[in-house]
Structure 1
Amino acid sequence: MRANAFTIGASLGAIALACGIMPASGQTRADERLVFLPYVGIDQVVTAPIRGGGDVLTYTNLSAGFTAEVNNRRVEALADVQYNHSFGWGGQAPDQDVLSGIVNARYHVARGLSLEAGGFATRIRSDGLSGATPLNDSYTSQVYSGYVGPSYTTKVGVLDVSASYRLGYTRVEDDVSVALPGAPSGGSYDDALSHILTGSVGFSPGTLLPVGLVASGGYVREDPSQLDQRFEDVWGRVDATLPVTPTVALVGGIGYEEISISQRSPLLAGNGTPLIVNGRYVTDESSPRALIYDQDGLIWDAGVLWRPSRRTALEARVGERYGGMTYQGSFTWQGRDSSFGVAVFDGIDSFGRVINANVAALSGNLDVVRNPFTGNITGCAFSTTGGGQCFNDGLSGITDANFRYRGVAAQYSRRRGPWGWGLGAGYSQRKFITPRTDAVIIRGSSDENWYGNGSVTYTINDNSSLESVVYVNYFDASGGRTDTLNYGGFTSYYRGITRRLSASASVGVDGVKADDIDTIISAMGQLGLRYSF
């Protein structure tokens, strides 16, 4: 696992280098903004049981990482990457590696043409306590996801033309445990490669006609390695926008879509049960590809668009897709030093596509909050420019199955003077699309997830600051798996000692309640030093 963590770290670093995050020789332009801050650190962490029994555990964490920001005429990039190794004291405190980070970059190749790339890495629980905070003494899995691809926009007369392609990859490296009911026993995610190709051409209202028209199309394919799965989605549609007042327009679209999901059968053991190695099915390569989902036909939606100002937009649509009614919408507000957004979503998705889309949606100035006791990224990355994302919903209940994904997500971020605030909350439901003979997840069953994350930062002076974080996540599992409630919070104090050396101190509490175990509440403390180069 340690070698893999270094490999992932190298790949995230390569993304940063390719997109211009690392300083190049000869960069002396006065208008460039370039910040690259590598560091090393050491922390002493203690966890003690408040409720539920257990031992007092002590860890020494060694970390290395960097933060970076580039903003100039050609490059816009942000990065926060850290590798952390925990040395456990005693047999009850196992060693652990954590690689976590976010990289987001855009390189403007030429007028209208840009190359975009991004990456995300973190660790999650793999002991059946879905959605719970990964602590040093829990079974965890390394997750990472990345994408790269070009996008192009131009005008041809009065026509707006755009096209984009995104190559994505997502992988989960498991330390699988079946000690708890509901832990992975064969349906664990492995890795997947995805392709997303989209294009559109159209004109705005009032150019050629009173109504604006846009013709668009796309192709999505994902190839997860588990059971040689394949997801394909081909669609095309025409959308219209009809202004009825200076701030309100009627919107709607109609088109055609074809979605198919297929996979091969698992190899069977001598007793007729699926063969499982390292928590995953072994694929029977000689088995025929079975079609487990096939949906095609007319798609349509209609709704309203309200834009009272450049800072505010509301859109709501109702329509028919995926063989039934769909409801989608969004509201965004952008202030001078704050942002707020709500999205209602409905689609056919997978773990890999959800996480990869979350990574691709990141933009702007990101406030990445880390757990001071493990170095891991917590649920949300906040942004006052509206480009933040919450990852804890997508990371809850990792599965190899595709699912109908519906829910609502909201995020608020603000920075004013020495204060900074961030709040993320949401709800989602995953209704699974699986073979009727699947032994791990029952076809048509569904999981539900509620989550909330909040953070407050306060800059005391140039040398010291405070940060407090609270979180809650409730995962309602199906198929006899474990329902899990996780809650907690922590407060950290940071103090600069010299220009390069800083110290930190943190206290926190974490609670977990599951169906088949007693409530576990742990108190945590941390003292650390960091040296920046």
Structure 2
Amino acid sequence: MSRHAFRILALAGTTLTFGAPAAAQTIQSGQAGATDQPAQLEQTAQSGQTQRRVSVRPYIEASQIFDADLDGGDVLTYTSLAAGVDAAIATQRVSGQVSYRYEHRFAWNKNAVDNDIHSGLARVDARVTPNLTLEAGGIATRTRSDIRGAAPGLLIGNVDNVSQLYSVYAGPSLTTRAGPVTFDANYRLGYTKVQTPTFGGSTLAGQRLDYYDDSIGNTVTARASTAPGSVAPFGITVSGAYDRETASQLEQRYEGYYGRGDILQPISPYVALTAGVGYEKIETSQKDALVDAAGAPVLDRDGRFVTNDASPRRIAYRTDGLYYDAGVIWRPNRRTSVEGHLGKRYGSLSFTGTATYQASKSVGMAVNVYDGIQTFGRQLRTGLGNLPTSFISGGQQGFGQQFNGCVFGTSGAQPGGCLDNVFQSISTASYRARGVDGVIVATRGRSTWGGGVGYTNRRLYAPDGAPGLVVTGLEDQSYYAQLFYARSLSQVSGINADLFANYYEPGVANVPLEAISGDDSVWSYGATGTYYRYFGRLGTSASLGLYSFKVGDLDSDWSAQALIGARYQF
């Protein structure tokens, strides 16, 4: 094998794209290390950032919150008590971070309600042996439920159309060699739970969508690959996967079998061509909802559909056959990587790709173009797996992110990722997700800023004529953007700010108007700013926020928020 061929293989990694388990796509690098976590740890080691560091910082906090409706409504007042922890570890073998916060808000107004809020994010990678890596992640956050309705951004006051959710995943990855062949295997187990959404207004006219409950997912992948020049002039990869997720709502099921072969042909020290053909069988199915004498779906005490156990299993989506694609990989240096694939899949043209650029240790960007059959739980776990193991936690951001938008990394090697594509709404149905998102993060002296932008399109699938279901043929889409800025004014004080905007198109043109309404587009935008200062272990903060959302032709709903708080850090 030539030196140039080996170099491009080592930089490019595999060209394999199962397209099946999106979770599986995050480990398809083998020794090349294009996307697997061991490679990320190696990059950290090369950048001199793997000095042993363990930090655990628990805290308690008390705040006073004011929420004013600028359209002539009430001013709501809350007292908030919170407890949380920020922990991080960075060693030669383990890289990870955990940020969790529990908050209870006591309402002062009769027309306001007390509420409990859980928000947190965890990402950990541990190299047990040179060949075995364990990976885990989890999230707790509140996010939008129905794409047709209100789009609350700061989640202060009596917010409508919001659900509390939790999701975790974990599993091992194994890499070994036998002569010129590299073998990779991966397993992931995940669980997602969503509480019933809040609806306090009339923003969701018409028939509602069904409510997500919980799901359990299992993904197994395996791959064997050879480098160009080892057994053939080109690299060869053969792979397979099995993916299954079961959801409690209407006993929904996702099941997929995948097999694929790829070749990789370097044509210069920095460019390689790739092509592959695969077979896949994907099926999503569910049972009917129980109906009453009038034909209306029967609901349980949480407002979810009751499953008709006597119903046969009905197919929502099925594909069974071959697919193919070809692409190009460009790696001009260790800091730049661009890869794109174009082919035929799911009965139409399909394009996927990635691009990364690390300008320095503290400046980096990443772009991802995706296309695949998904469920809410599977897509969320994929998004979690793509987040960095060191991220900006937002501990002093006041009204800032609650991990339901873009998450920014702390280094150029892992700039972060956005979860907006899955959190645009919570879908119980399976769907084809296509879109693109990108993030950039930079640190200069005392200042850090990050930006994220993206577009996503979903075509939802459900059995034709299933009672109570109104998503058959529905195609929705959204656009999103977020900016973050933080600056340390001194060793004990600083400021930060967030700016965000979202646009949602429910896209119900193919659904009869008598079946669903409230189908106008939705705008959501806002800005926050925070000043904080520490006096030893005691910290104080003050935040201001301005937020608005607009549904269809209705007037914009504007609100302003203010917060003053004190935190004691142990």
Same fold (TM over 0.5): yes
Report what 2:127 is aligned to: 108
| Aligned residue pair count | 502
Report what 1:362 is aligned to: 387
Report what 1:521 is aligned to: 558
Q: Write the distance in 1 (CA, Å) between the matches of 2:91 and 2:314.
A: 50
1:461 aligned onto 2:458: no
1:449 aligned onto 2:481: no
Query: How far 1:518 moved relative to its partner?
Result: 2.7
Query: How far 1:374 moved relative to its partner?
Result: 8.2
Query: How far 1:115 moved relative to its partner?
Result: 1.5
Query: How far 1:265 moved relative to its partner?
Result: 0.8
* Equivalent of 2:68 in 44, 48, 59: 48
Contact 2:150 2:549 in 1 (8 A): no
SS in 2 for 1:281: coil
1:338 aligned onto 2:356: no
Q: Write the distance in 1 (CA, Å) between the matches of 2:476 and 2:421.
A: 11
1:390 aligned onto 2:396: no
Q: Write the distance in 2 (CA, Å) between the matches of 1:67 and 1:276.
A: 40
Q: Write the distance in 2 (CA, Å) between the matches of 1:376 and 1:75.
A: 25
Deviates more, 1:302-311 or 1:376-385: 376-385
Query: How far 1:256 moved relative to its partner?
Result: 0.6
Query: How far 1:176 moved relative to its partner?
Result: 4.0
SS in 2 for 1:280: coil
SS in 1 for 2:383: helix
Mind listing any 5+ residue stretches in structure 2 that lack a counterpart? 1-49, 509-516
Contact 2:394 2:401 in 1 (8 A): no
* Equivalent of 1:59 in 78, 92, 95: 78
RMSD: 1.9
Deviates more, 1:123-132 or 1:147-156: 123-132
Report what 2:268 is aligned to: 245
Mind listing any 5+ residue stretches in structure 1 that lack a counterpart? 1-29
Query: How far 1:315 moved relative to its partner?
Result: 0.8
Query: How far 1:368 moved relative to its partner?
Result: 2.8
Report what 1:229 is aligned to: 252
* Equivalent of 1:486 in 524, 528, 545: 524
Deviates more, 1:393-402 or 1:189-198: 393-402
Q: Write the distance in 1 (CA, Å) between the matches of 2:67 and 2:329.
A: 51
* Equivalent of 1:92 in 98, 111, 136: 111
Counterparts in 2 of 1:141 and 1:172: CA distance versus 1, 3 Å? same
Q: Write the distance in 1 (CA, Å) between the matches of 2:294 and 2:357.
A: 59
Task: Spell out, residue by residue over 1:64-98, the C-alpha distance to the aligned partner (whole angstroms, 9 max, x if none).
Answer: 00001112233221111101111111112211111
Q: Write the distance in 2 (CA, Å) between the matches of 1:131 and 1:393.
A: 14
Matched to 2:374, the amino acid is D
Report what 2:13 is aligned to: none
* Equivalent of 2:204 in 179, 182, 190: 182
Q: Write the distance in 1 (CA, Å) between the matches of 2:171 and 2:541.
A: 39
Contact 1:81 1:101 in 2 (8 A): yes
SS in 1 for 2:228: coil
Report what 2:180 is aligned to: 158
SS in 1 for 2:128: strand
Alignment of 1:25-424 (within 5 A): 32-50=52-70, 52-126=71-145, 129=149, 131-133=151-153, 134-139=155-160, 140-177=162-199, 179-182=201-204, 185-277=208-300, 278-336=302-360, 337-369=362-394, 372-373=398-399, 376-383=402-409, 384=411, 385-386=413-414, 388-424=416-452
Query: How far 1:208 moved relative to its partner?
Result: 2.2
Following superposition, which runs of at least 4 residues in structure 1 exceed 4 angstroms of deviation? none
SS in 1 for 2:555: strand
State TM-score, norm by structure 2. 0.85
Report what 2:27 is aligned to: none
> Relative contact order (C-alpha < 8 Å, sep 6+): which is higher?
2
Q: Write the distance in 2 (CA, Å) between the matches of 1:374 and 1:340.
A: 22
Q: Write the distance in 2 (CA, Å) between the matches of 1:31 and 1:398.
A: 41
SS in 2 for 1:461: coil
Percentage of matched positions with identical amino acids: 36
Q: Write the distance in 1 (CA, Å) between the matches of 2:372 and 2:180.
A: 32
Q: Write the distance in 2 (CA, Å) between the matches of 1:275 and 1:494.
A: 51
Contact 2:209 2:470 in 1 (8 A): no
Q: Write the distance in 2 (CA, Å) between the matches of 1:376 and 1:55.
A: 25
Contact 1:49 1:523 in 2 (8 A): yes
Contact 1:106 1:116 in 2 (8 A): yes
Query: How far 1:58 moved relative to its partner?
Result: 0.8
Q: Write the distance in 1 (CA, Å) between the matches of 2:457 and 2:234.
A: 36
Query: How far 1:118 moved relative to its partner?
Result: 0.8
Task: Spell out, residue by residue over 1:104-148, the C-alpha distance to the aligned partner (whole angstroms, 9 max, x if none).
Answer: 112222221121111001012447535431323213311111101
State TM-score, norm by structure 1. 0.91
Q: Write the distance in 2 (CA, Å) between the matches of 1:49 and 1:463.
A: 34
Matched to 2:535, the amino acid is I
Contact 1:98 1:374 in 2 (8 A): no
Deviates more, 1:325-334 or 1:176-185: 176-185
Query: How far 1:465 moved relative to its partner?
Result: 0.7
Query: How far 1:231 moved relative to its partner?
Result: 0.6
* Equivalent of 1:510 in 547, 555, 558: 547
Counterparts in 2 of 1:257 and 1:96: CA distance versus 1, 3 Å? same
Report what 1:27 is aligned to: none
Matched to 1:310, the amino acid is R
Matched to 2:184, the amino acid is S
Q: Write the distance in 2 (CA, Å) between the matches of 1:375 and 1:160.
A: 41
Counterparts in 2 of 1:31 and 1:369: CA distance versus 1, 3 Å? closer
Contact 2:214 2:249 in 1 (8 A): yes
Query: How far 1:382 moved relative to its partner?
Result: 0.4
Q: Write the distance in 2 (CA, Å) between the matches of 1:130 and 1:118.
A: 29
Report what 1:496 is aligned to: 534
Counterparts in 2 of 1:299 and 1:70: CA distance versus 1, 3 Å? same
Task: Spell out, residue by residue over 1:344-363, the C-alpha distance to the aligned partner (whole angstroms, 9 max, x if none).
Answer: 11111111111111111122
Contact 2:366 2:415 in 1 (8 A): no
Q: Write the distance in 1 (CA, Å) between the matches of 2:233 and 2:444.
A: 42
